[in-house]
């Protein structure tokens, strides 16, 4: 049994994981989810502290029975900036960090700089053109994020709305000097229109020296393919 702490992306809502949580629990694992802070001045440090707080509040504390079980942190998209920092600050060991369709930061880089530094706009445009959706299409939530999510789930997400990520999250330089000393895996959706697969392969090789693990689904795999995602997540923990 492992404890999975699931960290949402830019939307910041624990709701994002609601289809994945029962899949992990059905496989015998514990799950911790959290809503991320929404205050405009909530940067990487604040997000990392929120993640640490959720882990501790979930019963994974030094000396506890749960601390003896593997702790896995899963970071969706923008959470790739704060979750590695939480790994460094947690008072309990992290067995694995799983990046899911995530942004991989470089030391001193802000999330605002990441897009041009990695060439994401050009990669997204080229992928759209190759699919026949036109070169450099205007960003559209349904087309970029929800294209493979069931209609009823899409409707629920868009009806509920959600706040934009805090501005400070894009302004604070990534504070670590190097990647944390935690076993890391990278899961990437083969149909991700926002962070195309081949683009991510290059970024992950360059910045982490890892090969991505290709999974079915687009950018919101936890909503579109929760069963398959759960299978990939538990591969290492059983």
For 107, the token pair is 């030391």
Flag whether pLDDT at 236 surpasses 90: no
Reduced to 3 states (helix: H, G, I; strand: E, B; else coil), residue 234 is: coil
pLDDT of residue 161: 73
pLDDT of residue 163: 78
Contact assessment for residue 211 and residue 188, using Cβ atoms and an 8 Å cutoff: no
pTM over 0.95: yes
* CB proximity list for 178: less than 8 A, separation 6 or greater: 107
Buried-exposed string 84-110: b where 16+ CB fall within 10 A, e elsewhere: bbbbbebebebbbbbbbbbbbbbeebb
Q: For residue 70, which phi and psi values (nearest 5 degrees)?
A: -60, 135
Q: What is the pLDDT of residues 44-82, one digit of tens each?
A: 999 999 999 999 999 999 999 898 999 999 999 999 999
How distant, in Å, are the alpha carbons of 43, 69, 113, 215 from that of 229? Answer: 28, 21, 29, 7
Q: Which of 190, 50, 177, 186 is nearest to 106 (CA)?
A: 177
How distant, in Å, are the alpha carbons of 63, 110, 144 from that of 34? Answer: 23, 23, 24
Flag whether pLDDT at 238 surpasses 60: no
Annotate 96-146 with DSSP letters as a single string. Answer: EEEEES-----TT--HHHHHHHHTHHHHHHHHHHHTTS-SSPPP-IIIIIS
For 144, the token pair is 């970029």
Q: What does the domain layout of the chain look like in residue ranges? A: 3-233
3-233 CATH, one of 3.90.550.10, 3.40.109.40, 3.40.50.1820, 1.20.120.530? 3.40.50.1820
């Amino acid at each position: 049994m492992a404890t999975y702490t699931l960290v949402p992306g830019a939307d910041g809502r624990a709701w994002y994981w609601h289809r994945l949580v029962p899949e992990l629990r059905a496989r015998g694992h514990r799950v911790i989810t959290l809503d991320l802070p929404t205050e405009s001045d909530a940067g990487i440090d604040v997000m990392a502290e929120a993640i640490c707080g959720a882990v501790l509040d979930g019963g994974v504390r030094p000396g506890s029975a749960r601390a003896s079980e593997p702790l896995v942190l899963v970071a969706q998209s923008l959470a790739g900036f704060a979750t590695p920092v939480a790994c460094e600050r947690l008072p309990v060991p992290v067995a694995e960090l799983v990046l899911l369709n995530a942004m991989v930061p470089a030391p001193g880089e802000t999330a605002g700089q990441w897009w041009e530094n990695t060439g994401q706009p050009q990669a997204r445009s080229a992928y759209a053109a190759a699919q026949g959706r036109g070169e450099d299409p205007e960003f559209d939530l349904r087309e970029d994020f929800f294209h493979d999510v069931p209609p009823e789930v899409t409707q629920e997400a868009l009806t509920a709305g959600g706040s934009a990520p805090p501005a400070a999250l894009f302004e604070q330089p990534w504070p670590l000097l190097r990647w944390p000393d935690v076993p890391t895996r990278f899961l990437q959706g083969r149909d991700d229109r926002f962070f195309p697969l081949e683009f991510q392969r290059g970024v992950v090789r360059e910045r982490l020296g890892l090969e991505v693990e290709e999974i079915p689904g687009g950018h919101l795999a936890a909503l579109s393919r929760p069963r398959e995602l759960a299978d990939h997540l538990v591969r290492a923990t059983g």
